[in-house]
């Protein structure tokens, strides 16, 4: 695996019909060079979230095939679900993993956007690092109004799609495609049931509150445990490490006489997010990822 | 890679002749299922150390082929070098990496020992976890007397080889084959130039001194840096973790009013040795290796 490797997490607006879900993920099983890591459909959200790993060309090929199924089969006019959505293929983020720069991930998202727009006559918005304007960076801003609202929204000059026709696809809606860093979901628990303390700490440590640049955080009530939690998304673990947010939470918690009881990592994360933590706490002076057996087995040849 | 995977680090008594070194490592390049991670020859030691990764059958096949070259080509009667040695193929340790128990690694070392003994008429001793007697566990005890001394030693009833004839191979000497856990070489630096402090701490924290069970440690003088170091071999990182020895060194150093300035990891180590450290310092409550992207890419399918 000397190849360029990206992760891709396409979201489709179908969470109930098992047959259709299998049809959509078919290309991800079929195309060599793509590894289907996970897919999970939620009935309440009526949404399918797929996790892929692969090289740029294989990802592109399999995604365009899967999009063809979703655009043909899903009718957004009949779609109901709790999760906000605007299209049959709701969103496709590309995430650089190995031997890939963010620029290359942005380039791939543009290629897929252009081809999909042409092939399916589908309006496509570029978002996050691929965005063509600051107000298009945040996916929530693009999706505001959802499928039903887009018939009006798309006519506004500031919401002209980046690719495809300036009209909503009658059954498949619109799609957002973009590039971003891997997210690490990291939660730290506090020995108190006072939500306001978790919320105050979250505000202090997150970027928007003047804290760590690549950290989003909110306070969450864990009622069953009788605890509260600072729930974080680390948006670039290569620049803001997990140990920084952990130590900063401990520091802020002191002000309230509250202790940190532990933490949890949710979902998949790159090895480096943890080896950086170990290297910090052990004071490693000249550590390299190349020293890790699994790293060498996977990425060298 | 759902296969059973072991590491193997055979040592051959040839560190000068580039042609012969290439002949010896040839089978490790040729046999599919074996990955030649590294090989380095040292002229002073007159010794070749090879690092391999592979499944049991492929390792066995390639090792027997490489042994055939070494037994045929190396004459121990002419061998001079600083490193203690007793045979053309001096030692072969098998190290379980993935989906392999220590029992299976021991079994593989016995198979290779039996076949090599028969094929090359070579006396072979089993050592470490494969040892057939407590006094054969330690490689240094087996090797004592070296090639020259073995012509007498091998006649002693307590030093009858585990496989092969009770006579030294006239040119290839004798060989030790065994199984052990991966070693992690971990050194911690102290802000003092007093070697006796590093030696005293090393004694406290190592197994033989009443300290951590899977920790060997000595004090080392880093004259150029004006510092001393506690130099460790962690002999089973799954049971004695790096953070334990690190914290214990900090604790002991306090007694001398000395601070720990940093640490270093030498060579290759398994990912888990570091993720365990991160999990400890972050207080992770329910972390699994399966959450690590590289782990899933490498070991699942």
CA distance B77 to chain A (A): 37
Q: How close are the terminal C-alpha atoms of chain B, in Å?
A: 7
CA distance B215 to chain A (A): 16
Residue A176, φ and ψ in degrees, nearest 5? -110, 135
Answer yes or no: are the C-beta atoms of A83 and A40 closer than 8 Å.
no
Residue B169 annotated to the active site: no
β-sheet bridge partners, residue A124:
A163, A175
Q: Which residues of A touch B284 (CB under 8 A)?
A: 262-265
- Superfamily name with CATH number, domain A5-179: Formiminotransferase, N-terminal subdomain (3.30.990.10)
A133 close contact with B: CB closer than 8 A: no
Could you read off the pLDDT of B94-142 as tens digits, one per residue? 999 999 999 999 999 999 999 999 999 999 999 999 999 999 999 999 9
Q: How close are the terminal C-alpha atoms of chain A, in Å?
A: 7
pTM > 0.90: no
Question: Does B277 sit within 8 Å of A281, measured CB to CB?
Answer: yes
CA distance B143 to chain A (A): 29
CA distance A294 to chain B (A): 6
Q: Chain-wide mean pLDDT for chain B?
A: 95
Question: Does B271 sit within 8 Å of A283, measured CB to CB?
Answer: no
Q: How far apart are CA A156 and CA A135, in angstroms?
A: 14
Query: Average pLDDT, stretch B145-164?
Result: 97
Query: Average pLDDT, stretch A250-266?
Result: 97
Which one is predicted more confidently, A267 or A274? Answer: A274
Which chain B residue lies closest to A297 (C-alpha atoms)?
Answer: B298
In chain B, where the domains are located: 5-179, 184-299
Question: Does B293 sit within 8 Å of A243, measured CB to CB?
Answer: no
pLDDT classification of B3: cutoffs 50, 70, 90: confident
Q: Which residues of B touch A275 (CB under 8 A)?
A: 271, 274-275, 278
User: What integer pLDDT is reported at residue A298 of this predicted model?
Assistant: 86
Question: Does B271 sit within 8 Å of A295, measured CB to CB?
Answer: yes
* CA-to-CA dists, residue B174 to B94, B112, B150, B171, B204, angstroms: 18, 14, 8, 9, 36
Q: Which of A246, A265, A301 to mutate to test the interface with B (most CBs of B within 10 A)?
A: A265
Whether residue B2 has pLDDT greater than 60 = no
Q: How far apart are CA B88 and CA B67, in angstroms?
A: 8
Could you read off the pLDDT of A153-207 as tens digits, one per residue? 999 999 999 999 999 999 999 999 999 999 999 999 999 999 999 999 999 999 9
CA distance B235 to chain A (A): 16
User: What integer pLDDT is reported at residue A3 of this predicted model?
Assistant: 82
Q: How far apart are CA B7 and CA A85, in angstroms?
A: 49
pLDDT classification of A82: cutoffs 50, 70, 90: confident
β-sheet bridge partners, residue B71:
none
The class of domain A184-299 in CATH terms is alpha beta
Residue in A285, A292, A298 closest to B263 by CB: A285
Residue B200: how many other CB atoms lie within 10 Å: 16
Which one is predicted more confidently, B256 or A268? Answer: B256
- The secondary structure of residue B75, as a DSSP letter, is -
The SS3 assignment for A135 reads helix
Q: How far apart are CA B146 and CA A15, in angstroms?
A: 70
Whether residue A301 has pLDDT greater than 60 = no
Residues 252-281 of A with CB under 8 A from B: 260-265, 267-271, 274-275, 277-279, 281
Whether residue A1 has pLDDT greater than 70 = no
Question: Does A264 sit within 8 Å of B287, measured CB to CB?
Answer: yes
Q: How far apart are CA A24 and CA A26, in angstroms?
A: 6
* CA-to-CA dists, residue B253 to A32, B207, B227, angstroms: 55, 18, 14
Out of A45, A79, A83, A169, pick the active-site residue: A83
Q: How far apart are CA A168 and CA A154, in angstroms?
A: 7
The SS3 assignment for B100 reads coil
Residues 228-247 of A with CB under 8 A from B: 242-243, 246
Could you read off the pLDDT of A117-165 as tens digits, one per residue? 999 999 999 999 999 999 999 999 999 999 999 999 999 999 999 999 9
Which chain A residue lies closest to B299 (C-alpha atoms)?
Answer: A294
User: What integer pLDDT is reported at residue A2 of this predicted model?
Assistant: 56
Q: Which residues of A touch B97 (CB under 8 A)?
A: 293
Q: Which residues of B touch A277 (CB under 8 A)?
A: 277-278, 281-282
Query: Average pLDDT, stretch A273-282?
Result: 98
Question: Does B261 sit within 8 Å of A283, measured CB to CB?
Answer: yes
Q: Which residues of B touch A291 (CB under 8 A)?
A: 265, 267-269
Residues 186-215 of A with CB under 8 A from B: 189
Residue in B37, B182, B274 closest to A274 by CB: B274
User: What integer pLDDT is reported at residue A297 of this predicted model?
Assistant: 86
Q: How far apart are CA B196 and CA A24, in angstroms?
A: 68
Q: Please calculate the CA angle B174-B176-B177 and round it to the nearest 5 degrees.
A: 135
Whether residue A50 has pLDDT greater than 90 = yes
Question: Does A35 sit within 8 Å of B297, measured CB to CB?
Answer: yes
Q: Which residues of A touch B267 (CB under 8 A)?
A: 291
Question: Does A268 sit within 8 Å of B296, measured CB to CB?
Answer: yes
Question: Does A298 sit within 8 Å of B298, measured CB to CB?
Answer: yes
Question: Does B269 sit within 8 Å of A260, measured CB to CB?
Answer: no
Could you read off the pLDDT of B255-286 as tens digits, one per residue? 999 999 999 999 899 999 999 999 999 999 98
Could you read off the pLDDT of B29-52 as tens digits, one per residue? 999 999 999 999 988 999 999 999
Question: Does B293 sit within 8 Å of A268, measured CB to CB?
Answer: yes
Interface predicted TM-score (ipTM): 0.84
């Amino acid at each position: 695996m000397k190849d360029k490797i990206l992760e891709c997490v396409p979201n489709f607006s179908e969470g109930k019909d098992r047959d259709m879900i299998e049809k959509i993920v078919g290309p991800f099983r079929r195309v060599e060079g793509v590894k289907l890591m996970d897919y999970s459909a939620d009935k309440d959200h009526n949404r399918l979230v797929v996790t892929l790993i692969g090289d740029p060309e294989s990802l592109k090929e399999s995604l365009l095939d899967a999009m063809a199924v979703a655009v043909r089969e899903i009718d957004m006019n009949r779609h109901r679900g709790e999760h906000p959505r605007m299209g049959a293929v709701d969103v496709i983020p590309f995430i650089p993993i190995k031997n890939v720069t963010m620029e290359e991930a942005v380039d791939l998202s543009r290629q897929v956007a252009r081809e999909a727009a042409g092939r399916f006559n589908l309006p496509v918005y570029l978002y996050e690092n691929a965005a063509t304007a600051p107000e298009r960076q945040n996916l929530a801003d693009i999706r505001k109004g959802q499928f039903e609202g887009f018939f009006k929204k798309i006519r506004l000059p500031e919401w002209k799609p980046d690719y495809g026709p300036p009209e909503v696809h009658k059954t498949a809606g619109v799609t957002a495609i973009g590039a971003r860093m891997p997210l690490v979901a990291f939660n730290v628990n506090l020995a108190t049931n006072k939500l306001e303390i978790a919320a105050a700490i979250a505000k202090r440590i997150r970027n928007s509150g003047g804290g760590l640049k690549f950290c989003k955080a909110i306070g969450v009530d864990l009622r069953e445990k009788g605890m509260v939690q600072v729930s974080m998304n680390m948006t670039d673990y290569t620049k803001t490490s997990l140990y920084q947010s952990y130590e900063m939470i401990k520091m802020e918690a002191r002000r309230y006489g509250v202790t940190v009881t532990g933490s949890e990592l949710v979902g998949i994360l790159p090895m480096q997010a943890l080896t950086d933590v170990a290297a910090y706490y052990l004071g490693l002076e000249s550590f390299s990822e190349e020293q890790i057996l699994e790293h060498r087995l996977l990425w060298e040849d």
